[in-house]
Amino acid sequence: MKLTIIGTGYVGLVTGACFAEMGNNVTCVDIDQHKIAGLKKGVLPIYEPGLEPMVANNHKNGRLRFCTSLTDPAAKSNMYFIAVGTPPEEDGSADLQYVLGVAREIGRHITQHTIVVDKSTVPVGTADKVKAAIDDELAKRGAKVSFDVVSNPEFLKEGAAVEDFMRPDRVIIGTDSEQVRKVMRDLYLPFMRTHERLLFMGVRDAEMAKYAGNAMLATKISFMNEIANLCERLGVDVENVRNGIGSDSRIGYSFIYPGAGYGGSCFPKDVKALIRMAKDHDYEPKVLGAVEARNNAQKQVLFEKIRHRFGPNLKGLCFGVWGLAFKPGTDDLREASSVVLLNALIGAGASIKAYDPVAMQTARREFPRAWFDSNQLKLMDEQYQALEGADAMVLVTEWKPFRHPDFDRIRKIMKQAVVFDGRNQYDPALLRQAGFEYSGIGRATPDKINL
């Protein structure tokens, strides 16, 4: 098939590369000329494992092209995927200006029957707005061109997006057209050779399924963080509790790991948008409100632990931070717990030496220049450098190189042997035996209370 993907962020670029990998002819369109120029040279705007060689190989073989406008002949197609951002408005609702802008652009250019696929995460009812925008542009042209608008939400995890796309656990298609179902089935069947995992439903059902899925996962995380905080106050080790409930097949182990809060481009934004949708329809989403409130509070937990240990004035203290990305496998700092922590530490007068295996360039670009100019934040080239002379180590992101470090070396190079484990990666008993003060999330302590 000949496909046009509009938007070259996480969703658009992964979608385009994976479709091209299966033999389709794909053109990715983005108005960012710098980004497109980089992609043509093999420079990706994002980090995602396995994506760079896939993009390079398919671009080299002519199956994956890049351009900046739908007027480019390479972008001419009868299937367009809208994969642009839907950032949150101040009230939490999804900003649809980019989605509808693309829809209008499609309406200005289509000349034959076209399938328009909403790949972006969009509120229920967006397909109707996309259809209206295209109809409006066709009317301005005096053109009569048939088209279908389809909802095909993505379920890609940052850090595993290529794997998720190539081996999906389900593909949801929202459409009422039998002909569109056939086309979409043909497009996706190469990704599911062992058994079909396509789920067809109404457009609005598909739009809601995406939000409900992310909200459910966010709920599991916030629930477990709530339990972890209670465990600290009761002298209970939440890791034993996690194993106890995770062994129940009705609950499972996924997304019940206590930590410093969820982040990224999806969960925070989608929970806010779902809350806004509910309120717009005169419904108070009490569970979703609690999920968001717990997550916001959870991002403060590490700083509260540090302040409890060292006092409110942290001037003259240095903290070695391991991990900046919101999760392993990505360079994404959006809504990351590390950002909240660094803001609080610097605001209290502390200095920070930080290291992340992948997100350093993003950190240099995204963090305030004043942090670097004042030397309150230094980004180190190697993980142990971040701990030299530190008064405490703070693990924020559970990258694999951080999971089994050399604690004998760490104890020797740190000023004080204090560890704040924001992801419960380490055994508290072993670290205490090695001479460290240890504070995790929901881990039992001798005095039963560990704030």
Q: Which residues are catalytic?
A: 266
| Side-chain half-sphere CA neighbours of 71 within 13 A | 2
| Pairing assessment for the beta strands 64-67 and 79-82 based on DSSP bridges | unpaired
Contact between 7 and 30 under an 8 Å Cβ cutoff? The reply is yes
Q: Give the residue from 35, 42, 40 showing the smallest Cα distance to 7.
A: 35
Helix (H) or strand (E) holding 150, with range, is: strand 147-151
Chain CA centroid to CA 250, Å: 26
Q: Give the residue from 20, 359, 272 showing the smallest Cα distance to 165.
A: 20
Contact between 142 and 112 under an 8 Å Cβ cutoff? The reply is no
| Pairing assessment for the beta strands 79-82 and 147-151 based on DSSP bridges | unpaired
* Helices marked H in 299-368: 301-310, 337-347, 360-366
- Beta-carbon neighbour count of residue 251 at 10 Å? 13
User: In this structure, which amino acid lies at residue 10?
Assistant: Y
Chain CA centroid to CA 270, Å: 11
Q: Token pair of 195, please?
A: 């058994």
Q: Token pair of 133, please?
A: 């925008």
* SS3 of the chain: helix, strand, coil, percent, to 5: 45, 15, 40
User: In this structure, which amino acid lies at residue 66?
Assistant: F
C-alpha span between 188 and 169 (Å, rounded):
12
| Side-chain half-sphere CA neighbours of 442 within 13 A | 24
Q: Give the residue from 116, 125, 178, 177 showing the smallest Cα distance to 152.
A: 116
C-alpha span between 302 and 414 (Å, rounded):
19
Q: Give the residue from 414, 264, 269, 258 showing the smallest Cα distance to 339.
A: 264
Find residue 166's DSSP bridge partners.
none
